[in-house]
Amino acid sequence: MKGKQTVILISLVLLFISYIYDTNMKPVENMQVLSGAGYDIIEEVDGHITYSIPLSVYVFGEDNKITGEIKTGIGSTIGMTRGDRQRKSDNKFLLGLEKVYVISEDYAKFGIRNILDVLFTNSEVNDMGAVIVYNGKAEELLGYQVNGYPTSSDYLEGVIKNAQGYNFFTNNYKLTDVFVRVDSEGRKALIPYVEIKKTGPEVAGFAVFNKDKMVDKVNMQEGKILNLLREKKARGALNLQKDAKSYVDYYCEARRKVKVKKDGDNYKFIIDLNLEGDITSNEEFPSVIDNPELKKKLEAELSDKIEDECNAFIQKMKCEYKLDLLELGRVAAANFGRHQNKDWDKIVSTSDIKVNVKVKVDKEGRGNY
């Protein structure tokens, strides 16, 4: 026992000495701590691509005041931008705390595979950071000043996390999620699409990817229905509205189950959506909780409206997008075999897709008064 204590004591002393004399150890004030990273491309006249990679870093000032600044590297490859950026920086960059990865729309349409490759091979980056697509230059969004936040990255992280409350968002927009979805059979990357409005940055919809390239985008209303049809479990708000004075707001949890049938080369998908939640405002069905028949009528009308919206989106997906945005190919491959070189986009776009919606109303806020 005494020998073990001696070994532990010697180890601690050596660790302390190595800490004192380690020239790489620096106080945080002397480090470039990243809050976010951006990806822009500059297309030159002769067809060559130049990469511009801005990093948002914290600046630690006096009186514990934290602000942010942008450090940008430019090069003919992503790797070359690192050397360009470092020679203009007086301190070492500290990776691992990145909150967001901002990809410009131009870059997203060009293809993000090289971004994923360079980040995947770097064990120091934070693969749990949120990925977003911005309709302008990434450097512009990273440098945007939001009141009360040291950097826009801190604000954007909160926007993506808290979007799960009312729009059927999930937490599947992290860097690691994009890694998985880009090359997996029957899957599609769906990344929040951000714009700067009068009140600041906000999610305006979703960037739709085919493999590693952005091919389209959907607005926020379509995005809610897309999430409803695509995600196994999500929460959000829906409504039944006839006019400005006659409406019902419904906040619910949605659960999705998909069944697939195959007849020769033909597939049929059945999507069962079970929604359960509360009425948050009601200007159409008074005393609905105390009236079973009225409650059934409300549930039926909500079911019909949601089903109609789902069918309208599926029709648009099949005819305009012509992509398997609902990841139905993943379900079919799991049932009938993977790696058979099937074009699931084409198969799903020509398949019969049926949606069944069941709505259950639990309660109505605090009741009537």
Residue of 196, 213, 183 lying closest to 141 (CA atoms): 196
Q: Are 303 and 363 members of one domain?
A: yes
Residue 153 lies in a domain: yes
Say whether pLDDT at 8 is over 70: no
SS3 304: helix
Three-state SS sequence of 118-186: HHHCCCCCCCCCEEEEECCCHHHHHCCCCCCCCCHHHHHHHHHHHCCCCECCCCCCEHHHHHHHHHCCC
**Greater model confidence, 187 or 288:** 187
Query: How many domains is the chain built from?
Result: 2
User: What is the pTM assigned to this prediction?
Assistant: 0.87
Contacts of 97 (CB under 8 A, 6+ apart): 33, 34, 35, 126
Residue 52 lies in a domain: yes
Q: Are 192 and 313 members of one domain?
A: no
Gap between the terminal Cα atoms of the chain: 74
Contacts of 221 (CB under 8 A, 6+ apart): none
Residue 19 lies in a domain: no
Q: Are 202 and 258 members of one domain?
A: no
Say whether pLDDT at 12 is over 50: no
Q: Are 34 and 125 members of one domain?
A: yes
Residue 235 CA to residue 240 CA, distance in Å, equals 17
Characterize the bridge pairing of strands 266-282 and 352-361.
parallel
Say whether pLDDT at 201 is over 60: yes
Residue 332 lies in a domain: yes
Residue 13 lies in a domain: no
Residue 95 CA to residue 161 CA, distance in Å, equals 21
Q: Are 148 and 279 members of one domain?
A: no
Say whether pLDDT at 304 is over 50: yes
Residue 192 CA to residue 218 CA, distance in Å, equals 10
Residue 305 burial (C-beta neighbours within 10 Å; 0-12, 13-18, 19+): middle
Percent pLDDT > 70 in the chain is: 90
Contacts of 70 (CB under 8 A, 6+ apart): 54, 55, 56, 57, 139, 142, 143
Q: Are 51 and 104 members of one domain?
A: yes
Domain-terminating residue out of 174, 204, 229: 229
Q: Are 196 and 238 members of one domain?
A: no
CATH code for position 282: 3.30.300.210
Q: Are 312 and 169 members of one domain?
A: no
Domain-terminating residue out of 197, 229, 261: 229
Residue 8 lies in a domain: no
Residue of 302, 163, 314 lying closest to 229 (CA atoms): 314
Are 52 and 67 in contact by the 8 Å Cβ rule? The answer is no
Q: Are 98 and 197 members of one domain?
A: yes
Characterize the bridge pairing of strands 100-104 and 66-75.
unpaired
Residue 14 lies in a domain: no
Residue 69 lies in a domain: yes
Q: Are 171 and 294 members of one domain?
A: no
Q: Are 109 and 92 members of one domain?
A: yes
pLDDT at 24: 53
pLDDT digits (tens, 9 = 90+) for 76-113: 988 888 888 888 776 777 778 899 999 999 999 999 99
pLDDT digits (tens, 9 = 90+) for 268-303: 999 999 999 999 888 888 778 788 899 899 999 999
Domain of 160? 27-229
Residue of 162, 357, 168, 160 lying closest to 253 (CA atoms): 168
pLDDT digits (tens, 9 = 90+) for 313-362: 999 999 999 999 999 999 999 999 888 889 999 999 999 999 999 999 98
Characterize the bridge pairing of strands 266-282 and 246-263.
antiparallel
Please give the backbone phi and psi of residue 339, each rounded to the nearest 5 degrees, phi first: 55, 45
Domain-terminating residue out of 209, 229, 249: 229
Q: Are 140 and 222 members of one domain?
A: yes
